[in-house]
C-alpha cells in the first residue's frame, strides 16, 4: 500500500493515537501536518523524526481546537504548504469524568468543542478542495462510546455519538465525489488521555488504580487487553487506501469485543 504524493493532516497528533496515525501515514509516503499542544521542543523532535525516518515533509500547526477560525486557518495553511489536503484525520480529544450533577459546564463546553465541533470546522474547510480533486479521505477518531455509554462521561459520550452522526451525514453528501468519511471507534487504548482518566475514575468510583484498570477499563473489553495505538493507526492507513474506496459512512469498532455484547 502506498500513499506517496498524498497529503494528510491529523489533529491531536503530538502524542498517543494521533501521533501513531501521523507516523503510519508518513511511513506509507504521505506528507503530514501534525497538530496539538505540548512541549515545543518535544513536538519539534517528533516532527523532525517523521521527516528523517520516512523521507516525507512534515509540518506542525498549533491551532487551538476550540476555535473555529484557527481550525479553518490550519486547513488553509496545510493546503498552501503541501499543495492540497487529501486526508483529514479528526483525532483531537479530551476527557473529564464526573457525576452529571457535579459536571462543570465549562468542561462540557470544552469537550463538545474539541471532540465534536472541531471536526465540523475542519471538515467544512477541507471538503471544497477534496470535492474539486475528486478524492479524499476523512477519518474521525470516535470511541466505543460512540455506540454505548458509560457512567460519569456525559459530555464525552454525547460528543462521540454526535461525531458518529456527523460522519454518516458527511459520507452521504460526498458519496459521488470520490471522498469517503468513516469513524474509527477504539475501546480503551493505553494513551496519555486514558492514563489521565484513572485518578478521576478512582475518585468518582472510590476505587484503587488497579481496580479502575481491571474492573472498569478492561472489564469492558472481552479480550482483557488494551488496544494499541499501532493497531488503530493500521486501520486508519487501510481506510486511506484504494482498497477501502467503497467503505464510507462506517463506524468501525476496534475494541476487543466491547460493543459485541
Number of domains in the chain: 1
Assigned C-alpha cell, 110: 470544552
For the stretch 211-234, pLDDT in tens is 999 998 899 899 999 999 999 999
Q: Of these residues, 60, 156, 188, 238, which one is catalytic?
A: 156
Residue 203 in domain: no
Q: What is the pLDDT at residue 220? A: 85
Strands lying side by side in the sheet with 7-10: 58-61, 31-35, 7-10, 87-90, 136-141, 179-186, 251-254
3-state secondary structure of 209: helix
Q: What CATH number is given to the structural domain containing 78?
A: 3.40.50.720
pLDDT digits (tens, 9 = 90+) for 147-160: 999 999 999 999 99
Task: Determine the pLDDT at residue 195.
Answer: 87
User: Tell me, what's the pLDDT at 68?
Assistant: 98
pLDDT at 1 over 70: no
Residue 192 falls inside a structural domain: no
What's the sign of the alpha-carbon dihedral 241, 157, 115, 232?
negative
Give the whole-angstrom CA distance, residue 201 versus residue 192.
15
* Domain hosting residue 79, numbered range: 7-187+227-253
Contacts of the segment 201-206: beta carbons below 8 A, 24+ positions apart: 201/97, 201/152, 204/97, 204/98, 204/99, 204/152, 205/152
* Residue 2 forms part of a structural domain: no
- 156 as an active site residue: the answer is yes
Confidence of residue 115 (pLDDT cuts 50, 70, 90): very high
Is 205 domain-assigned?
no
Say if 160 falls within a structural domain: yes
Paired with 147 in beta bridges are none
Question: In this predicted model, what pLDDT tens digit does every residue of 136-184 receive, in sequence order?
Answer: 999 999 999 999 999 999 999 999 999 999 999 999 999 999 999 999 9
On whether residue 27 sits in a domain, the answer given is yes
Q: Evaluate whether residue 170 is within a structural domain.
A: yes
The answer to whether residue 152 sits within a structural domain is yes
Quote the pTM value: 0.94
Q: Is the per-residue pLDDT at 193 higher than 80?
A: no
Mean pLDDT, the chain, integer: 96
Q: What are phi and psi of 185, to 5 degrees?
A: -120, 90
Amino acid at each position: 500500500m502506498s500513499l506517496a504524493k498524498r497529503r494528510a493532516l491529523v489533529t491531536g497528533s503530538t502524542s498517543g493515537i494521533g501521533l501513531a496515525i501521523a507516523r503510519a501515514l508518513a511511513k506509507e509516503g504521505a506528507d503530514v501536518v501534525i497538530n496539538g499542544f505540548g512541549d515545543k521542543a518535544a513536538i519539534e523532535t517528533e516532527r523532525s523524526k517523521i521527516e528523517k525516518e520516512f523521507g516525507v515533509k512534515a509540518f506542525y500547526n498549533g491551532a487551538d481546537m476550540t476555535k473555529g477560525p484557527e481550525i479553518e486557518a490550519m486547513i488553509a495553511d496545510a493546503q498552501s504548504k503541501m499543495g492540497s489536503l487529501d486526508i483529514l484525520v479528526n483525532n483531537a480529544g479530551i476527557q473529564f469524568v464526573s457525576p452529571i450533577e457535579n459536571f462543570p459546564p465549562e468542561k462540557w463546553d470544552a469537550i463538545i468543542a474539541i471532540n465534536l465541533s472541531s471536526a465540523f470546522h475542519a471538515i467544512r474547510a477541507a471538503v471544497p478542495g477534496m470535492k474539486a480533486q475528486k478524492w479524499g479521505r476523512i477519518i474521525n477518531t470516535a470511541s466505543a462510546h460512540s455506540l454505548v455509554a458509560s457512567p460519569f462521561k456525559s459530555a464525552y459520550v454525547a460528543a462521540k455519538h454526535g461525531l458518529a452522526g456527523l460522519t454518516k451525514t458527511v459520507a452521504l453528501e460526498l458519496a459521488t465525489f470520490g471522498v469517503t468519511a468513516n469513524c474509527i471507534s477504539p475501546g480503551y487504548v493505553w494513551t496519555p488521555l486514558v492514563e489521565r482518566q484513572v485518578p478521576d475514575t478512582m475518585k468518582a468510583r472510590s476505587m484503587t488504580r488497579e481496580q479502575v484498570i481491571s474492573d472498569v477499563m478492561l472489564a469492558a473489553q472481552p479480550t482483557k487487553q488494551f488496544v494499541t495505538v499501532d493497531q488503530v493507526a493500521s486501520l486508519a492507513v487501510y481506510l486511506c487506501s484504494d482498497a477501502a474506496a467503497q467503505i464510507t459512512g462506517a463506524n468501525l469498532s476496534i475494541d476487543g469485543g466491547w460493543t459485541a455484547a
